[in-house]
Amino acid sequence: MNSGKPINYASAAFTAGLKRNRGKLILFGILLIVVIVLLNESLFIVGEAEQSVVTRFGVIKQIVINRNNDFHERYADLLKDEISLDGSIQIVEGSGLHFKVPFMDKVETYSSRLYTYISDSEVVNTAEKKQYYVQTYAQWYIADPALFSLKLGSMTSAENQLDNLIHPVIVQVINRMSAEDFVSNKDALNAALAKGLKTVNEDMAPRGIEIKDIQVHRTILPSANIESTYARMQADRAKVAQQLRSEGEESYRKAVSSTDLEARQIEADAISEAGAVRAQAETESMKIYAEAYGVDPDFYSYWRSLQALREALTSKATLVLDKNHPLWSELLAYAISPENVQ
């Protein structure tokens, strides 16, 4: 007969089962952690304004770029010998979730937004050796993160490279321009800068950078140039004012000449019309005279004599008449009439 304490087999079985379940839970937890770590090491997210470079033991294996990035298409000839286009690097387009080999691949992320480069102020000469303090700016972005990572590696290196390439182009552009075009002709300046931009981009493309715009940010006249520039500006304005005055005077002369010509034409037309009316009246008068002469020639002759006498007296002319002239008797009768005798 057992004299010790009774053995609780149910409690022992529960304890053993609890130990076994605890081991399973620990194993499950370990597996869960491993899965989470593997997923974390296998997945990475690229934002809408981001680009990424995936390296494996320091060697670039993949780049992720934006869907609307056509940099490689536009610069295919320049980049055909570069690593990003030799087939060893996978180019993936689009943001979102992407995969990599866990514990072997590393991801470097770069912004795809525009960066602003601003140069130091430098003295630049125009074609006629006029000096200006010029400061320029450029808008640029990382177009190929693989080339950027290999050739430049940092924003500081990128800024230094932009300094080395942009400044000489700006100097060449301004050296070829006159001071007047540089200061006043924005279209000519922008056209020249566009050509310079193309040259800079051809140099920067193998480094994974593309410049969107180059402009003159600030132009300051050296003190020695201010007086001469103001004098030139005043002379230019005076020349324009004189030209405007000359054009106004010429327009006035043309208007007056046109008005005078029109007035003379109206006067000539009126004289011509009056002459025609007089001619027609005289024709009618002659016709009437002829008809009157045909009816009573003696009376018509007498009447014409009276008309001639009236015109002669009106003009205060001296008449010399034969005493047998028909008008003599008329004049004598007029002279001895009671109204004219004093």
pLDDT beyond 60 at 339: no
Euclidean distance between CA atoms 111 and 143, whole angstroms: 10
Q: What is the pTM of this model?
A: 0.55
Mind listing the pLDDT tens digit for each residue in 41-93?
A: 888 888 888 889 898 888 888 888 888 888 888 887 777 777 666 667 788 88
Measure the CA–CA gap between 108 and 61, rounded to whole angstroms. Answer: 12
Does 24 or 17 have the greater pLDDT score? 24
115-223: CATH topology is Tetrahydropterin Synthase; Chain A (3.30.479)
* Cα–Cα distance for residue pair 136/118, rounded to 1 Å: 6
- What is the DSSP secondary-structure string of 78-121? HHTTSGGGSSSSEEEESSEEEE--TTTEEEEEEE-S-EEEEPPP
Burial label, 128 (beta-carbon count in 10 A; 0-12, 13-18, 19+): exposed
Token representation of residue 329:
């008797």
**How far is it, in rounded angstroms, from Cα 103 to Cα 37?**
10
With 0-12 CB in 10 A as exposed, 13-18 as middle and 19+ as buried, what is 324? exposed
Q: Please state, in angstroms and rounded to a whole number, the distance separating the CA atoms of residues 11 and 6.
A: 12
**Tens-place pLDDT, residues 266-278:** 888 888 887 777 7
Structural domain spans, the chain: 115-223, 224-295
DSSP assignment string, 48-73: TTEEEEEEETTEEEEEEE-TT--HHH
- Checking if the pLDDT of 164 tops 70, the result is yes
* Residues facing residue 214 across a β-bridge: 138
Report the 10 Å Cβ neighbour count for 282.
11
pLDDT at residue 26 tops 90 = no
Listing DSSP states for 254-279 in one string gives: HHHHHHHHHHHHHHHHHHHHHHHHHH
What's the pLDDT score for residue 287? 74
